[in-house]
Amino acid sequence: MTKILEINNIHVSYGNIEALKGVSLSVNEGEIVSLIGANGAGKSTLLKAIVGLEPLKGGSIKYAGEEILSATGSGKASKKNLRPDVIMTKGISMAPEGRGIFAEMTVLENLEMGAFIIRDKNLINRNIEEKYEMFPILRDRRKQLAGSLSGGEQQMLSIARALMSKPKLLLLDEPALGLAPIIIQNIFDIVVKISKEENVTIFLVEQNAKMALSISNKGYVLETGKIILENDSDKLLSDPKVKAAYLGE
């Protein structure tokens, strides 16, 4: 299978605190890949690094075979690093932790913001209609301020906005966070639908390990900035260490 994302021995630090300590992983085109781990493990930092929001102190990141981010041997960011907006034009988009919606803007305006790299107005309008088909509640709420939506509706908006740029790789950061179980199931059903029907590769960061692994092809476990386990998702679900630490079994 073709690797769409390759992360090679990356290091990210906040001052003297090393958040990622030589992380390496890969995502194949067409897969859903899960990254699980406890709070503070470095999951969100990893996603931010992929889209250029956190500079690398070591290692490199390739997308579709092209190096998009790297660090020099001195630990400083390389001049090769692409800006976040340029990375987005390559085909990577992210729905951030906490949804990251623009609360004082309408649902429609949020969707339009997700298409800021697209100049064709007709294409933007078609994309909006596609998102309304996928998330009918957003059509009903299109003139409503995003901050007034329920938690589940806000998460749908966050994902829909991330899809407005027509990405090939979608990064999802804790989509189940703070949602009721029935809403979580709905969100994960939507994630699977996006993967199958939209032909989008998904890299999913999630604390709800059981749910994440149940819909993914492959999984990684991140602990204090290091990958400690990787395997097919079904094998991780049956791994005693994963059961004890992340599945409550």
Closest residue by Cα to residue 166 from 65, 84, 90: 90
Q: How far is CA 107 from CA 153, 177, 195, in A?
A: 10, 20, 23
In the chain, which ranges are E strands?
3-14, 17-28, 32-36, 58-63, 66-70, 92-95, 169-173, 201-205, 218-223, 226-232
Q: What is the pTM of this model?
A: 0.91
Q: Residue 246: what pLDDT?
A: 84
CA–CA distance, 140 with 228 (Å, rounded to integer): 44
Pick out the chain residues at pLDDT < 70: 72-80, 248-249
At 73-95, the pLDDT tens digits run 544 545 568 999 999 999 999 99
Q: Are 221 and 236 in contact (CB under 8 A)?
A: yes
At 217-238, the pLDDT tens digits run 999 999 999 999 999 999 999 9
| Structure token digits, residue 90 | 């390559």
Q: Residue 70: what pLDDT?
A: 93
- Domain assignments of the chain as residue spans, ordered by start: 3-246
Please report where in the chains the tokens 């250029």 appear, as a residue. Answer: 52
Q: Residue 75: what pLDDT?
A: 47
Q: Which CATH superfamily is domain 3-246 in?
A: P-loop containing nucleotide triphosphate hydrolases (3.40.50.300)
